[in-house]
Structure 1
Amino acid sequence: MTLFALLLVSGLLLYIVRVLEKAHGALAHAKGIPHQPLPAFFYPVAISLVMIAAWWSTLDQPESSSDKETTGTAMLEEKKDSLWHAPDTADWQQLSNVEQLRYGRDLIANTSHYLGPKGTVAAITNGMNCQNCHLEAGTKPFGNNYSAVYSTYPKFRERSGAIESIPKRVNDCLERSLNGKAIDTSSTEMQAIVAYIRWLGTGVEPQVKPKGSGLQELAFLDRAADPAKGALAYSAKCQSCHGSEGKGVLNAAASGYTYPPLWGDHSYNSGAGHFRLSRFAGYIHANMPLGATHNNPQLSEEEAWDLAAFINSQPRPKKDLRKDWPNPAGKPIDHPFGPYSDGFSEEQHKYGPFGPIKKARSTQQAAKGKTLASR
């Protein structure tokens, strides 16, 4: 009961008592019966007690277990619906491994300085930085951020057919997106990167992927993505930064890229995540050109699909993928290399339309489920 309601009800009860007391006095007087009125201090005392009760009702009372459960559930749902934002680096000063975190973040932001062709630690990558794909050092919502990495790893991945750790996943990026070599998982560099990724997952519950994690998922087109249309969009929206030949722009020291190459010898190879059209189209739509965000895109979804098709139709380094996807049925719809278990061509798996593939796979899964149920 609210304070106002309690005062209102209490005042009404006092009024009723007063009326009854007067009525009793009048009746006693009419019958000649002696009447003893309420003592003078009754009303001040009663009002004081009412005020104390009202004050007491405003104090916080312990929640019941059901109240706590309801509140906790509501807070969890609200947290799930809230867009993820990276924790504040200002909090690092309170941590014992602040220097390790700084180094880990710098390795993501300036990978080429340490591991590029002129790397101060090792010369093992193509000159791109991790944050060319994982924007703003892995912190941008829908910018391929790291928010869900620590909460979901180790985990089984169909691509390797094995349970993978965070260091394994980091090395995958070095070998594929940066077309380089793996680093020792016990090295100072790997430990710093893992510590930084762990810190970015602060507050994320186990097995939870926060809203805004990873990449934006776009609806499939009802046609194949068109490299020719993508070439027109590239000329209009992309080549001012990445160049007409997709070579990117080197920084002043020529030790890395201000704008990364999108194809050619120094770009990501054919085993990178961006070589899958759905992944790359989602990345483009939410983040490109420079200044775009997931809620303020500068390209239509169709343009993003066509741009991804154009860029991924250009020459780039090849990776030996013979050990990838040991179970062909586990390949994503847009994995561009066979063999497949669904009968569709490599061309359609690369450019689409993807709807028929998805429908055929759903039919296969339903049939398989019925077969298993009948055994």
Structure 2
Amino acid sequence: MSEETKPNQTHKTLIYTAKSIVLVSLLFILCSLIGISVCYWKDSPDLRNTTNQAVVAVEATKSLIKANPIPADAWKSPEESTIPADEYGNMIRYGRELVKNTAQYFGPNGSVARISNGMNCQNCHLEAGTKTFGNNYSVFFASYPKKSARSGKMAEATERIADCFQRSLNGKVPDLSGKEVQAMLAYMKWLGSEQEKGKKAFGSGTEKLKYMDRAADPQKGLLVYQNKCQSCHGQDGAGVRTEDQLAYVYPPLWGKHSYNDGAGMYRLSNFAGFVKNNMPFGISYPDAQLTDEESWDVAAFVNSQPRPHKAQKEDYPDRTKKPIDAPYGPYLDGFSEQQHKYGPFSPIVLALKELESGSDH
């Protein structure tokens, strides 16, 4: 080694030694902090309890997800590639477009007719009717014709569409033989093309939540709404319109532009099951954010707000077929409209069973 390289070697050695001292010092400080934290955790019941609760909550969530997986044989929407490349395929595509953007064609400034409130079908039938527990169309077409409990008569699929326009869209019935309704039916038929008639598909409709042992509470629901819903639907529930004002980015939940009191969403069980697996926006089954109680309560809050009225005196002529949460009389069981709207529902179920049992003797 030359005399010229010795100073460089010494310099490098000094630098390495200094770095080592710094590293050892940092490790000592880090170990001390960990030791202090562990001691503090042991001596702090509040911190220990909070940590334990967090661990329990995480494990409970994992268990819930494992306990409620989507079955392997659950219904799934057909692949878009299976839509025929012909005129009928064009009808299917047009039907999907109508479901997604109903207001563009039938809203207050619709290009086909101006007969609805500006909401879209997919505001209630999420992702154009393809989402698990999002009111999908998996069994829709296969279910008709059928005896309608609401009308008491045999009904075709077109009549169900007419009902949605009159109730959920708070509007008028479109031309049921026209191109648009026939296109919607073609789309719904395609969606359910692999669904066996009479068989219930997993994830269809909305999840049926267990009844609470108390009435749903609009005041508790207000807190849920403020924390989970208000940022999209607004303090006044009026929703958020698209930039061109023709439709809604987030639909109105009450007020004159929302669904009326004859709509399916005005029944608490439907609304609660819907929000459970779909709200806040972006949530999907089984990763729910709301508890069952929060779902019932926020449903009670939303449906306690003002909305358009629809005459329903002709609905459910056979009272034995009337849903227990239909919030308008008359009833067979003697319970009030208030209880039929908000619950508790279990006493009503029991009373109806007793009535049915009595009628068998």
Counterpart for residue 62 of structure 2: none
Counterpart for residue 19 of structure 2: none
Q: How many residues align?
A: 292
Match of 2:94 among 103, 110, 130: 103
Amino acid corresponding to residue 316 of structure 1 in structure 2: R
Q: Using the alignment, how far apart are the partners of 2:281 and 2:340 within structure 1? A: 29
Match of 1:129 among 114, 120, 126: 120
Contact 1:216-1:294 within 8 A present in 2 as well: no
Seen in structure 2, the aligned counterparts of structure 1 residues 80 and 209 have a Cα distance that, compared at 3 Å, is: farther
Q: Using the alignment, how far apart are the partners of 2:72 and 2:196 within structure 1? A: 14
Counterpart for residue 314 of structure 1: 305
Verify: 1:144 aligned to 2:116, yes or no: no
Q: Using the alignment, how far apart are the partners of 1:191 and 1:96 within structure 2? A: 13
Counterpart for residue 295 of structure 1: 286
CA displacement 1:170-202 (0-9 Å, x = unmatched): 110011000001011110001000100110111
Verify: 1:204 aligned to 2:195, yes or no: yes
Amino acid corresponding to residue 320 of structure 2 in structure 1: A
Counterpart for residue 262 of structure 1: 253
Amino acid corresponding to residue 334 of structure 1 in structure 2: D
Secondary structure of residue in 2 paired with 1:291: coil
1:94 offset after TM fit, Å?
4.5
Contact 1:81-1:211 within 8 A present in 2 as well: no
Q: Using the alignment, how far apart are the partners of 1:262 and 1:150 within structure 2? A: 27
Contact 1:152-1:208 within 8 A present in 2 as well: no
Match of 1:222 among 213, 219, 225: 213
Amino acid corresponding to residue 260 of structure 2 in structure 1: N
Secondary structure of residue in 1 paired with 2:135: strand
1:233 offset after TM fit, Å?
0.5
Match of 2:176 among 185, 194, 198: 185
Counterpart for residue 222 of structure 2: 231
Contact 1:147-1:209 within 8 A present in 2 as well: no
Secondary structure of residue in 1 paired with 2:147: strand
Q: Using the alignment, how far apart are the partners of 2:158 and 2:200 within structure 1? A: 19
Counterpart for residue 78 of structure 2: 87
Verify: 1:281 aligned to 2:288, yes or no: no
1:156 offset after TM fit, Å?
0.6
Q: Using the alignment, how far apart are the partners of 1:241 and 1:96 within structure 2? A: 39
CA displacement 1:242-267 (0-9 Å, x = unmatched): 00000000001000000000000000
Amino acid corresponding to residue 239 of structure 1 in structure 2: Q
CA displacement 1:147-186 (0-9 Å, x = unmatched): 0011111111111101111100011001100000101111
Secondary structure of residue in 1 paired with 2:300: helix
1:325 offset after TM fit, Å?
1.0
For 1:153-164, list aligned pairs within 5 A.
153-164=144-155
Verify: 1:357 aligned to 2:327, yes or no: no
Amino acid corresponding to residue 154 of structure 1 in structure 2: P
CA displacement 1:25-64 (0-9 Å, x = unmatched): xxxxxxxxxxxxxxxxxxxxxxxxxxxxxxxxxxxxxxxx
Amino acid corresponding to residue 107 of structure 2 in structure 1: G
1:355 offset after TM fit, Å?
0.5
Q: Using the alignment, how far apart are the partners of 1:199 and 1:98 within structure 2? A: 9
CA displacement 1:45-97 (0-9 Å, x = unmatched): xxxxxxxxxxxxxxxxxxxxxxxxxxxxxxxxxx9972211001111144551
CA displacement 1:121-160 (0-9 Å, x = unmatched): 0110000000000000000011000100111111111111
Q: Using the alignment, how far apart are the partners of 2:236 and 2:331 within structure 1? A: 33
Q: Give the unaligned 5+ runs of structure 1.
A: 1-78
1:328 offset after TM fit, Å?
2.0
Q: Using the alignment, how far apart are the partners of 2:221 and 2:107 within structure 1? A: 30
Q: Sequence identity of aligned pairs in percent? A: 52
CA displacement 1:212-236 (0-9 Å, x = unmatched): 1111110001000000000011001
Secondary structure of residue in 2 paired with 1:145: coil
* Structure-2-length-normalised TM-score: 0.79
Q: Give the unaligned 5+ runs of structure 2.
A: 1-69
1:367 offset after TM fit, Å?
1.9
Q: Using the alignment, how far apart are the partners of 1:294 and 1:337 within structure 2? A: 31
Q: Using the alignment, how far apart are the partners of 1:209 and 1:256 within structure 2? A: 33
Contact 1:80-1:210 within 8 A present in 2 as well: no
Structure 1 segments of 4+ aligned residues over 6 angstroms from their partners: none
Secondary structure of residue in 1 paired with 2:249: strand
Q: Using the alignment, how far apart are the partners of 1:150 and 1:236 within structure 2? A: 37
Q: Using the alignment, how far apart are the partners of 1:333 and 1:268 within structure 2? A: 20
Verify: 1:250 aligned to 2:241, yes or no: yes
Counterpart for residue 317 of structure 2: 326
Secondary structure of residue in 2 paired with 1:131: helix
Q: Using the alignment, how far apart are the partners of 1:154 and 1:312 within structure 2? A: 31
Q: Greater shift after overlay, 197-206 or 308-317?
A: 197-206
